[in-house]
Amino acid sequence: MDNPRRIAWDVLNKCASAEQYSNIALDTAIKRAELPSVDRGLLTTLVYGVIEKQITLDACIDSLAARGGIAPDVRNLLRMGTYQMAYLDRVPDHAAVNETVDMAPKRAKGFVNAILRAFARSGKQIPMPDREEDPIGYLSVRYSFCKPLCEKFVAVFGFRRTEELFAAFGQEPPLTVRVNTLRISRENLLARLAEEGIAAEPTPHVSNGIRVLDKTPVTALCGFDEGLFFVQDEASQLCVEALDAHEGMRVLDACACPGSKSFGAAIDMRNTGSVVACDLHKNKLSLVESGAERLGILTVTAEARDARHLREEWCGGFDRVLCDVPCSGFGVFAKKPELRYKNPEKSAGLPGIQAAILENASVYVKDGGKLVYSTCTLLPEENENNVARFLQSHGEFTLLEQRTLYPDTDGTDGFFFAVLERK
């Protein structure tokens, strides 16, 4: 039987050395390993937990290590051991120490053993910077976000609101799906899940969403193979509702992959009309095509296009246009923990790209049609500021609605959307 801790260590090393996204590396590892559901759960918890708490764990390790320059693979092993001791109540300290030391390379066994036992003797204390004297350092260690990101959020939201948001991003979000009402109602799908012993509840903000409260892999849920649902956060579902697509319409999803918003629009249109789903990367379009096939959606066509470049024959040709633009992702830390360590300066060029996509997509909207702009970030320069600049130079559009959703107050991803109408 494969060892979930050893697999987790391997995944963490690959993510660090090859800069792989954790969800991709983890999915690959799970498919290759022979693990019962309990061990799959431990593997997933270790990988995501260690990445999410990396700065906090390193503060503990470095406060106990008498030497610097810990090898990356050994540091990942220490992070795993420390994480189990600090955050997993069901794993006894002695088991976490023994399992971690057993996996350690010979050169590091004594060192790993000494650090973990010292951590246990300390009462598993986290060396926290003073909240008043070093607020940025405190936020960084307490919530495990890099300091440049802490500084950015404090500049935008203030210290107290930043702390509320960071705490919310530390909560594990439930799996949220949208029901494929071409094939089943929400009530009937909830009944089927209940029959299978799967805990689930209707979403509070949208009429066709379900929150799955069990940790069953999505592909193992009843109805997945039948195309009865697809994964989509409630914020994203609200964005599709705001698009307001109706039967027989022609819809453009300018930045579509992996396709959930295209699927939602097609379902709202009752599999009539047409949805053109575009993406810059041709190799990603198979996600849209395979997803539409599983769901029985016949009206979605996928096309590789740079959303900044004009296609003249589309001008004025769409009832609805959606621009879910590439963004910093600073609203989905709970689902993409690597983003906690991304310097916001690396996203400084995004507002210009987003504005170019919005500008180009706007010419495709019919008179009386709607244009929806959305991101999964909370930064104003990628959200409200882009919309305001667009409206200043486009008097032919009116702002009908704009909304920012927050993980603590709305229970969704951090998300923004604006609905514009061509007069």
The pair of structure tokens assigned to 97 is 């120490």
- Vertex 358 angle, CA 357 and 363, to 5°: 100
Report d(CA 12, CA 15) in Å as an integer: 5
Reduced DSSP (H G I as helix, E B as strand, rest coil) percent helix, strand, coil of the chain, to 5: 50, 15, 35
* Residues 6+ positions from 309 with CB-CB distance below 8 Å: 360
Q: Residue 344, preceding bond cis, omega within 30 degrees? A: no
Q: Of 373, 385, 377, which is closest to residue 419 (Cα–Cα)? A: 373
Exposed (0-12), middle (13-18) or buried (19+): which is 187, by Cβ within 10 Å?
Answer: exposed
- Are the C-beta atoms of residues 361 and 254 closer than 8 Å to each other? yes
Question: What CA–CA distances, in Å, run from 149 to 64, 145, 235, 331, 404?
Answer: 26, 7, 23, 12, 19
In single-letter form, the type of residue at position 312 comes to: E
Nearest to 115 by CA among 60, 164, 69: 60
Which residues does 206 contact at the CB level (< 8 Å), separation at least 6? Answer: 178, 234, 237, 238, 241
The catalytically annotated residue of 60, 278, 327, 376 is 376
Rounded to an integer, what distance in angstroms lies between the CA atom of residue 329 and that of residue 378? 8
Residue type, 377: T
- The tokens for 40 are 């799959």
Rounded to whole angstroms, how far apart are CA atoms 138 and 129?
Answer: 5
Question: Rounded to an integer, what distance in angstroms lies between the CA atom of residue 352 and that of residue 348?
Answer: 9
Q: Which residue has the tokens 């936020």?
A: 139
Q: Rounded distance, CA 100 to CA 109, Å?
A: 9
**CB-CB contact of 339 with 329 (8 Å):** yes
Structure-block tokens of residue 251: 């819809």
Active site residue 376: yes
Backbone CA torsion sign across 281, 265, 321, 386: negative
CA distance 384 to 389: 9
Q: Which residues are catalytic?
A: 376
